[in-house]
Amino acid sequence: MKFPHQDKYQEIRDALRGLCADYPDEYWRKIDEARAYPEAFVEALTSAGWLAALIPQEYGGSGLGLTEASVIMEEINRNGGNSGSCHGQMYNMNTLLRHGSEQQKRRYLPQIASGELRLQSMGVTEPTTGTDTTKIKTVAVKKGDRYVINGQKVWISRVQHSDLMILLARTAPADQVKRKSDGLSIFIVDLHEAVGNGMTVRPIPNMVNHETNELFFDNLEIPAENLIGEEGKGFRYILDGLNAERTLIAAECIGDGWWFLNRASQYAGERIVFDRPIGQNQGVQFPIAENYIEVSAADLMRFRASELFDAHAPCGAEANMAKYLAAKASWEAANVCLQTFGGFGFACEYDVERKFRETRLYQVAPISTNLILSYVAEHILDLPRSF
């Protein structure tokens, strides 16, 4: 299968392909079966410096942009892996880089770059408020040189394989602020200190091998210096981080899309039924061809979003549209691939069913398709706000 074009990131792509070759389908299949964490893979990625891509050189990283980070994430999925195990470090990094103090950067970034610390978790979603983020009920109350945190989060990923978490909590009551997005703040939580000292973690068994949890906060105390940026401005900081997250997830979906297309076209060319390759039938060819067009188009929007982000330009529309198009295209690619494989698509040994489950997540998380449509309707088309 030919890919649309050679881009200027070929060096990164080649290096990632070399690394991923040591972690073939069988590795990911076994990890999925055991619902385990791909520790060896994440360790190799960290040692090679890829998870420190966004950290500026002065703090020990390689100082690359979100565009390069997105290529790294894309390649993991394109080579059969699942970057959901480690993408948190990339999107959380921007929050710390753009809004953290110099002291916080000096304290954490060199250790994250060297792999001593992992910043893989972000705690935003809550069980009773869901997508309606400004209504979150987790509170952080300042007492002297500490914040005391009470509340609950749900679906918080990679807590067991991270050292740090970025947490969103309300620091001023919703009825005492001008806008509902005011009065929210973000904090760095040291997970080792927190677990058992006010924070409890309950894993959520789920459809994919995505380590994710419920978190309970009962008078968790964290140092006041762990506040990122200004108190009350956290929602704005989180939105910026969410644009990075959406763009990175879009790239992962593009990676999935290429993986499915590659497998589907290869299988369609080899599988002989009625004395000819199934791919000779236009009923089999056309869905694959149509999906190739869709993945290619989504890929362009992902580059547009990441380039705007790197230029510090507004990119909310592009990040959302990239996520929407890419998640849709990768899900369609999964369906087309499964259909092309027929019954064999359901057999675990072909990995199609695993990747099918994995890519389905991105229609829902980190933002559902409905909420993206609502963003475009309200913020781009100036249609009346619906909620």
State the binding string over 27-66 for ligand FAD (x if CB under 6 A, else -): ----------------------------------------
Which residue shows structure tokens 């924070």?
A: 199
156 binds ligand FAD (CB under 6 A): yes
Please list, in sequence order, all residues whose beta carbon lies within 8 angstroms of the beta carbon of residue 168, skipping any fewer than 6 positions away: 123, 124, 133, 136, 138, 184, 185, 186, 234, 235, 238
Shortest spacing between CB 77 and ligand FAD, in angstroms: 15
Torsion of CA 31, 32, 37, 43, to 10 degrees: 50
Candidate segments 177-185, 258-266, 333-341, 360-368, binder of ligand FAD by CB under 6 A: 360-368
**From CA 26, how far away is CA 139, in angstroms rounded?**
44
Binding positions for ligand FAD, 203-242, rule CB under 6 A: 206, 210, 212
Residues 44, 148, 174, 365: which binds ligand FAD (CB under 6 A)?
Answer: 365
* The amino acid at 326: A
Residue nearest to ligand FAD (CB): 130
**From CA 23, how far away is CA 42, in angstroms rounded?**
11
Binding positions for ligand FAD, 121-140, rule CB under 6 A: 122-125, 130-131
Which residue number, 287 or 366, has a Cβ lying nearer to ligand FAD?
Answer: 366
Residues 100, 255, 279, 366: which binds ligand FAD (CB under 6 A)?
Answer: 366
Which residue number, 153 or 263, has a Cβ lying nearer to ligand FAD?
Answer: 153
265 binds ligand FAD (CB under 6 A): no
Long-range contacts (CB closer than 8 Å, 24 or more residues apart) made by 262-265: 262/1, 263/337, 263/341, 263/350, 263/351, 263/352, 264/288, 264/333, 264/336, 264/337, 264/340, 264/341, 265/1
- 43 and 94 in contact (C-beta within 8 Å)? no
**From CA 85, how far away is CA 69, in angstroms rounded?**
15
367 binds ligand FAD (CB under 6 A): yes
**From CA 367, how far away is CA 132, in angstroms rounded?**
11
Q: Which residues pair with 105 in a beta bridge?
A: none
202 binds ligand FAD (CB under 6 A): no
Candidate segments 154-162, 225-233, 250-258, 327-335, binder of ligand FAD by CB under 6 A: 154-162
Candidate segments 48-56, 229-237, 320-328, 365-373, binder of ligand FAD by CB under 6 A: 365-373
Shortest spacing between CB 148 and ligand FAD, in angstroms: 21
Q: How many CB atoms lie within 10 A of CB 1?
A: 12
Candidate segments 304-312, 319-327, 357-365, 376-384, binder of ligand FAD by CB under 6 A: 357-365
Candidate segments 19-27, 187-195, 290-298, 358-366, binder of ligand FAD by CB under 6 A: 358-366
**From CA 46, how far away is CA 41, in angstroms rounded?**
9
Residues 374, 375, 377, 378: which binds ligand FAD (CB under 6 A)?
Answer: 374
- 182 and 172 in contact (C-beta within 8 Å)? yes
**From CA 60, how far away is CA 106, in angstroms rounded?**
10
Residues 115, 214, 368, 375: which binds ligand FAD (CB under 6 A)?
Answer: 368
Which residue number, 131 or 197, has a Cβ lying nearer to ligand FAD?
Answer: 131
**Where do contacts with ligand FAD occur on this chain (CB under 6 A)?**
122-125, 130-131, 155-157, 206, 210, 212, 361, 364-368, 370-371, 374, 387
